[in-house]
Structure 1
Amino acid sequence: MIMNRIVALSALVVVLWSCNNDDGGVTIEPPRPLTEVLGEDEVKIQEYLKTHYYNYAEFENPSEDFDYKIKVMEIEEGDTDVIPLIDQVESKSVKVSATTEEGEEELSHTYYYLVAKEGVGESPTVADSTFVKYEGTLLDGTRFDGTDSYSWQYLPQFLRGYAEGVSHLNSGGAVVENEDGTFTISDPGVGMVIMPSGLAYYNSTPSVLIPTYSPLVFTLELGVFVKDTDYDGDGVPSIMEDLNNDGNLNNDDTDGDGLPDHQDSDDDNDGTLTSDEIEVDGEGNVTFPDADGDTVPDYLDSDTK
């Protein structure tokens, strides 16, 4: 599956370019300016939201055999009886930065999300491991990826817009393992997210089905999640390793070794594991000693070991 092959593309806009070389190597076009692409994406997304609706009537009055899957359809000309997505979605903006030939750019990117069915549990953060079903499409409905069964996904390793979308859902209830090894989860959260290309693949394309600079749509079903996921096992929950609190864990790298803190068991590269420079009490509460009193906790301070 495409989504399972994408690691850290949600960190920031993928920046790839090169000049023609003399050995016949591949030339990669420089990324277009964020401002230019963002404006085009927003026009496309607004048109999509105004001209499409989902099967909300089935969610409001479900039949006994309703599968609680979101189906998006185009509004037929003259049909004023359905409610377009534009009147049902909510929106949120996040900062995206990238280095292009014109220098460093940072712009607010708006994504749109919809909760079709509330789950009975809590909501994950963008830093948690989640048990999810999903389907990904282009705005024209072309399906490029998806799964009919739940799979574990550590959200910081997936598209940033995707992680944001999942974080708006509540998880489900009881988990039952079926004879075929799949799982059934009662009352999961169901929703969708529509994102500009700056929160997706931008100038990169993991599949021939996804053109560069493509806004994407994901329908989502959240089963369960691991609260306060600690991906690198250093004792610090991954969400607490988002030091600049921008929702993007992949741009926090205290020691500059190219490994984000949420994947680094020695965040300050002082030779002492992070787990040995923090304190965890019997209830799992984490505190951060500061031996030299310089306001930098020991696990982020290479001067203390």
Structure 2
Amino acid sequence: MKRNLRYLSLLAAIFFVAACKNDDDNSITPPRPYDEQYAVEKPLIEEYLKTHYIASVDADFNVQIDTLTIPAEQTSIWDQTTYPLQNKQVSIDDVEMTLYYLVLNEGVGKQPTRADNVLAAYRGMRLDGTQFDYNPFPQTYSSLAGTILGWQELMPQFRGGEYIDEPGSPDPASFQNYGAGVMFLPSAFGYYNSAQVNIPSYSPLIFSFKLFDVTYADSDGDGILNKDETIEGVDIADYDTDGDDIPNYLDTDDDGDGYTTRQEIENPLTGEAYDFEDIPPCEGGIIKKHLDPACF
């Protein structure tokens, strides 16, 4: 009995020490200021782009990037023109950052918003070449809203592909003409100060990817797809017609008049929601009724 008590006491002590250590390991460290950290990372990303080149891109848009060893024969990602280096300027907390990316193929299918569902293959690497993730044959769709910010910003620059399934053919169904590219992300658009498996805190990330397919989502369940919750050239995250600091794609009352968008887009003759293109304005109005606070 005494031996059992000593054993239980020892276990309790071990668990106490382990719990204290775990608390220390998981203590929250305030993240570094975005401007200071980006000032460190931007030169590293641009140095990578100037010291590496596209060794090959095959028919399935698998890309191989290698270190420049013969500058006279190899052209850096930064300088090459076969797949011109693109960039998008995005701000976090008023700190403007550059997201660099390559378009290997734009795609011909649906174009996602930052909150739609995508079927995408990808490979994730750090600047030192360490691979931290690889999914060449995705089986399920993922919501971009649940991915890192870099994906939310750059995947909408591409389109999905065409689904090919020939009756009677022994070949499996597949996609063709899909979007494919490579993105080079500052850590603020990855995991920033939150370390992941094989990804230390503050790691810039590289993703090569193929966007096979897109399904449109309705994040707020108001009967209007996310892609229709904005106007041309404006990100859905920036479109807020009633000024309540909730973008329309997450707002169940887009015009702030106290009536839900779902109520306002109902066809009184059928009791069903209008197709987006057919949502009428109020009498004498010029904008769709769910965006006009002066009518219901």
What TM-score do the two structures reach when normalised by structure 1? 0.68
Say if 1:279 and 1:96 are closer, same or farther in 2 by CA, change over 3 A: farther
Matched, 1:192 2:182: yes
Q: Which stretches in structure 1 are left out of the alignment for 5+ residues? A: 1-20, 98-105
2:120 maps to which residue? 132
Q: Is the 8 A contact 1:130 1:225 kept in 2?
A: yes
What pairs up with 1:120-159 in 2 under 5 angstroms? 120-150=108-138, 151-159=140-148
- Tell me the residue number matched to 2:237: 249
1:204 aligned onto 2:194? yes
Shift of 1:187: 2.2
Rounded to whole Å, the distance in 2 between the matches of 1:176 and 1:265 is: 38
| Shift in Å, 1:246 | 6.5
Asked whether the equivalents of residues 193 and 201 of structure 2 are also in contact (C-alpha less than 8 Å), the reply is yes
Q: In 2, are the aligned partners of 1:201 and 1:213 still within 8 Å (CA)?
A: yes
Q: CA deviation at 1:52?
A: 1.1
Match of 2:207, SS? strand
Equivalent of residue 214 in structure 1, options 203, 206, 227: 203
User: Does the 8 Å contact 1:119/1:169 carry over to 2?
Assistant: yes
1:71 corresponds to: 64
2:113–2:226 Cα contact (<8 Å) kept: no
1:239 and 1:219 map into 2 onto residues whose CA distance is: 25
Contact 1:192 1:220 survives alignment (8 Å): yes
Q: Is the 8 A contact 1:162 1:218 kept in 2?
A: no
Q: Structure 2: where are the runs of 5+ without partners? A: 1-19, 167-171, 268-272
In structure 2, distance between residues paired with 1:36 and 1:174: 45
Superposition deviation, residue 286 in structure 1: 6.1
SS at match of 2:37: helix
Q: Counterpart amino acid of 2:179?
A: G
Mapping of 1:1-305 within 5 angstroms? 26-56=26-56, 58-59=57-58, 62=59, 67-76=60-69, 78-87=70-79, 88-97=84-93, 106-150=94-138, 151-176=140-165, 184-205=174-195, 207-227=196-216, 229-241=217-229, 247=235, 249=237, 262-263=249-250, 265=252, 273-279=260-266, 283-285=275-277, 287=279
Q: Is the 8 A contact 2:236 2:248 kept in 1?
A: no
- Report the Cα offset of residue 296 of structure 1: 12
Partner SS, residue 32 of structure 1: coil
Percent of aligned pairs with the same amino acid: 32
Rg larger for? 2
Kindly provide the CA deviation profile for residues 14-35 of structure 1, in whole angstroms up to 9, marking residues without a partner as x. Answer: xxxxxxx9xx664211111111
Is the alpha carbon distance of 1:208 and 1:282 closer, same or farther for their aligned partners in structure 2, counting shifts above 3 Å? closer
Q: Is the 8 A contact 2:162 2:175 kept in 1?
A: yes
Q: Which amino acid aligns with 1:81?
A: E
Amino acid in structure 2 at the alignment position of 1:285: E
Question: Quick check: 1:160–1:248 contact (8 Å CA) kept in 2?
Answer: no
Q: Distance in 2 between the 1:135 and 1:286 partners?
A: 42
Q: Aligned letter for 1:69?
A: N
The structure whose residues are more often helix, as a share, is: 2
Residue by residue, what CA displacement relative to the aligned partner does 1:164-197 show, whole Å, maximum 9, x if unpaired? 22222232112449xxxx8521222211111111
**How far off is 1:53 after superposition?**
1.6
| TM-fit CA distance, 1:249 | 3.0
Which residue does the alignment assign to 1:103? Answer: none
**Partner secondary structure for residue 111 of structure 1:** strand
Over 3 Å counting, the alpha-carbon distance change for 1:194 and 1:92 in structure 2 is same
Q: In the TM superposition, what whole-angstrom CA distance separates every residue of 1:45-72 from its partner, at most 9, and x where no partner exists? A: 001101112234x44xx5xxxx431122
Deviation per residue, 1:211-269 (Å, 9 max, x gap):
11111111110112135x323331122245569x8737399798989x97645656789
Cα distance change on mapping 1:144 and 1:86 into 2, 3 Å: same
How many aligned residue pairs are there? 257
The structural deviation recorded for 1:297 is 7.1
Inter-partner Cα distance in structure 2 for 1:298 and 1:282: 11
Per-residue CA distance 1:74-102 (angstroms, 9 max, x = gap): 112x33212211123111101212xxxxx
CA RMSD of aligned residues (A): 3.9
Q: 1:267 to 1:240 in 2, by over 3 A?
A: same
Change (3 A) 1:213 1:253: farther
